[in-house]
Structure 1
Amino acid sequence: MMMQISNDPASNKHSLLNVMHRFIAAANNMDETIMVPSLLRDVPLEEQANNNNNDDMAESQVASNKQRDMYEHYLLLKSIKNDMEWGLLKREMSSGASFLEIAVKQEKREQQPSVKGDLAVEDNADLEHQFHYHLRGLFGVLSKLTLQADHLTNRYKREIGGGNFMR
């Protein structure tokens, strides 16, 4: 009996579509759970040391964002999800350029051949390398963003459950 392989790329746990769906699902769960986002204002992103080492992985993931409070991080995750769902055109029409837009425009300027005409053969040969490089980066970023959305959601549940946000 032959093993049947699914033709649906989203069913492969290592597919880009699956990683994207997981992040969007985590961001949607975060958005549905956090009923009053303003309660996140001025709450440090990192939890106090009373958690010992239980959340070391999650805390190390957010350590680079120490300057942000939970509210700013919530807005960042929500904004990234919206950019993924609606694309950059909506952002261009409504507001200033995102970090992603700036990076894409800068990359296009750097990659433009100095001589006009068809792309050189070596540029085409390098496309596969560029694609794989950016794909690996996208997988890594989306995986981290998913963990951060889950962490923010779980932290909100713990804090609200304990009444720690109430002043």
Structure 2
Amino acid sequence: MQSLIVQQQNNFLAATMSKYSSAVKNMEQTVMLPSLLQDIPLEGQDEAKDARASSENLYECYVLLKSIKDTVECGLLPFEDLKRQINSAYDMENEDEADLEKLFYVHVKGLCTVFYALTNKANTLTSRYKEKIGLSS
């Protein structure tokens, strides 16, 4: 029974990552001139919450979303950076090793939440770019 739950959770994570990658690919195909995004600040209801934790303008957001997609799809994060991030995250965790299943689900939920937010950000950026160049539908 537990293996079925883990398999469903893995499929959910894969689907979430796939939706994110698709949204960023759509963004990349739509945004032909990323430099047009440099003067457009992050604003609006949805972005206002995320602005404090992310880029200052849509161009920086565009670069960030592409970078994360490349890391997700290809694992392009240099090994030393990855090792440092894992070690710092591990140091911050004070969870009991006996409850690894609970810790696993907490992290999967966190990843899904991040990918959901990044997917929305990519879709918003694509829409705002279309508005900027007059292609809004």
Shorter-normalised TM range: 0.7 to 0.9
Larger fraction in helix: 2
Q: Report Cα offsets for 1:94-147 as digits up to 9, x if no partner.
A: xx73xx654312134566xxxxxxxxxx62x22111101101101110000000
Decide whether the 8 Å contact of 1:74 with 1:152 is kept in 2: yes
Look up the match of 1:52. none
Question: 5+ residue gaps in structure 2?
Answer: 1-6
Look up the match of 1:34. 31
Alpha-carbon RMSD: 2.8
CA radius of gyration, larger in: 1
Identity of matched residues, %? 39
Say whether 1:143 aligns with 2:125. Answer: no
Residues in 2 aligned to 1:101 and 1:39: alpha-carbon distance in whole angstroms: 36
Indicate which of 4, 17, 20 corresponds to 2:17.
20
Residues in 1 aligned to 2:30 and 2:70: alpha-carbon distance in whole angstroms: 17
How many angstroms does 1:81 deviate by? 0.3
TM-score of the two chains, using structure 2 as the length reference: 0.78
Aligned residues: 127
| Counterpart residue type for residue 103 of structure 1 | Q
Q: Report Cα offsets for 1:41-76 as digits up to 9, x if no partner.
A: 1321115xxxxxxxx3x3345333575111000000
Question: 5+ residue gaps in structure 1?
Answer: 1-7, 48-55, 112-121, 163-167
TM-score of the two chains, using structure 1 as the length reference: 0.65
Alignment of 1:35-50 (within 5 A): 35-47=32-44
